A and B are shown apart, each in its own frame.
Chain A
Amino acid sequence: MRRVFLAVLGVAACTVVHADEFTEADLERWAAQFESVAQEGRRLWTSPELGTNGVACGQCHPNAANTHPETYPKFQKQLGRVAQMWEMVNWCIRNPLEGQDLDPGDARMTALLAYIAKERRGVALEPGKH
């Protein structure tokens, strides 16, 4: 029985692609890709390019503090309903920054959210907390 088992393992080891396996190298590479997107988010965070009046996110939110990503979705008075983090990012771009909304799938939105989440890592989820 054991010999058969080992033989099967041997076959498995020779096969290159499995749908449900990844390697240490994959993990490192993907972490680095996240890191680069988060760094782009940091760059956008301190850049005036998202708005039209020179104001940057980082002016009011140093190190993305006070964005509280762990509390979303939650009721947002300024939208009149329970809303998601990206909708509030757009609120800030439209209002203090006097810019245009980003699509939720826009690479810049992803970068901003990645940076925000990274600066808030380790904090427990508290969805709905106002």
Chain B
Amino acid sequence: MRWMLLLVSLGAAWHAAAQPLGLPPVPIPEDNPITPAKVALGERLFNDVRFSSTGAVSCATCHAPATAFTDARQVSVGINGLTGTRNAPTVVNAAYNATQFWDGRSPSLEDQALHPIVNPVEMAMPSHDAVLEIIRADREYTRAFRNVFDVRPEQIRIEHVTKAIAAFERTQVAGDSPFDRWYFGGEDDAISDAAKRGFDVFLTDGRCVSCHTIEQDHALFTDHRFHNIGIGVNAMQDRIGELAKAFLVAKAQGIDVDAAVLSDPDTSHLGRFAVTGDLSEIGAFKTPTLRNVAVTAPYMHDGSLATLREVVEHYNNGGVIPADAPVNHYLSGGIRPLNLTEQQIDDLVTFMESLTSPQFAVPTTSGPVAALDRREEQ
């Protein structure tokens, strides 16, 4: 009786969290409905370090719940201290992404979970079957898989594993930020005047809303598209021709794109082009959400920008750092020098800091709550 109550309350709690302020309903594929038991199984799989060749790396190693499901590193580190080439995107609100990975090479959360398991610099398992062997030898897992998917141990397939992980990830959604409470909730003092000014910059002189889109009743802060904003490619402009061609030849011969883009920084910087071969997508990467951006540093696909202020400066310069560096020729049409004042840059950063959901909020030295604290101290 008690466990039924637990399940019901878990379900109720999940439903209460399922529609945070500022977010639309989570898209759920028909073939992978969310149930509390599946979510619990997915969470266990997500945190299981046995699914790596050294027994030391799980999904949570790079997507750590304590650090907003990132790892706070420039690029992630897998087994044996091997580094990849890309910054770990947060799982929070990834359920809303039209594609997964910085270059969109995965069409779904279910598919995404397949890749790090067998990537040589991430978890480096020899095959997905190796994962299934571990699962089949674990009584708690086999019981859970039977409960969730109605399969006997020998019937467990990797698709069941990734479905459970995806279901867990779909519960990691977060809205209710101070910005949401102000913009959608009508609470006039939820954010500071500086943040409100920053939002105006976001919509006008900053031109940010062009790609970090918002809508009438919700804000995902991404257009799900791929744009070359001058990160990575800038330093290899004279080599792009050679590299692009060499990559296409290698791809035609059957190399694994997933392994290639994480093994070599230059290949990584080719971006979406590596996935589609489209000449107009050289150096283009997916627009990430800005939700919780203040707690998911460092920034960009290669983690090359450490602070939000540096990010704004990069855009303010028109896609280069420093301002007089040559712009790469494949730059997205929307990127151009912005001529923002220092005040506008500060305000824009303050606005971005207001996008942190309460469950990930870190105490800051500014903002309305801190101001209250200071007043109390006086």
Contacts and interface: CB of A to CB of B under 8 A. Distances in A.
Direct contact of A and B (CB under 8 A): yes
B210 A78 contact: yes
Given A75-B215, A75-B216, A80 B209 contact: yes
Contacts of A75: 215-216
Contacts of A80: 203, 209, 213-216, 219
Contacts of B73: none
A43 interface: no
A95 interface: yes
Contacts of B209: 78-80
Interface in A92-113: 94-95, 101
B207 interface: yes
Interface string A44-83: 0000000000000000000000000000000101111110
Nearest to B212: A80
Closest A-B pairs by Cβ, 4 of them: A80-B214, A80-B209, A81-B216, A82-B216
B204 interface: yes
A16 B45 CA distance: 89
24 contacts: A75-B215, A75-B216, A77-B210, A77-B213, A77-B223, A78-B209, A78-B210, A79-B203, A79-B209, A80-B203, A80-B209, A80-B213, A80-B214, A80-B215, A80-B216, A80-B219, A81-B214, A81-B215, A81-B216, A82-B216, A94-B204, A94-B205, A95-B207, A101-B204
A77 to B, nearest CB: 6
**For chain B, which range describes its interface: under 10, 10 to 19, 20 to 34, or 35 or more residues?**
10 to 19
Interface size grouping (class) on chain A:
10 to 19
Nearest to B219: A80
Contacts of A101: 204
Nearest to B216: A81
A93 to B, nearest CB: 11
B291 to A, nearest CB: 15
Contacts of B203: 79-80
Interface in B197-229: 203-205, 207, 209-210, 213-216, 219, 223
A65 B203 CA distance: 26
A82 B216 CA distance: 7
Contacts of B210: 77-78
Given A80-B213, A81-B215, 17 more contacts: A75-B215, A75-B216, A77-B210, A78-B209, A78-B210, A79-B203, A79-B209, A80-B203, A80-B209, A80-B214, A80-B215, A80-B216, A81-B214, A81-B216, A94-B205, A95-B207, A101-B204
Interface string B289-321: 000000000000000000000000000000000
Nearest to A101: B204
Interface string B214-249: 111001000100000000000000000000000000
A97 B207 CA distance: 14
Contacts of B219: 80
A80 B211 CA distance: 10
B17 to A, nearest CB: 25
Contacts of B214: 80-81
A121 B349 CA distance: 45
B158 to A, nearest CB: 38
A95 B206 CA distance: 10
Nearest to A91: B204
B333 to A, nearest CB: 11
Contacts of B205: 94
A79 B199 CA distance: 11
Interface in B42-72: none
A83 to B, nearest CB: 10
Contacts of B213: 77, 80
Interface in A12-29: none
Nearest to B210: A78
Nearest to B221: A80
Nearest to B205: A94
Contacts of B204: 94, 101
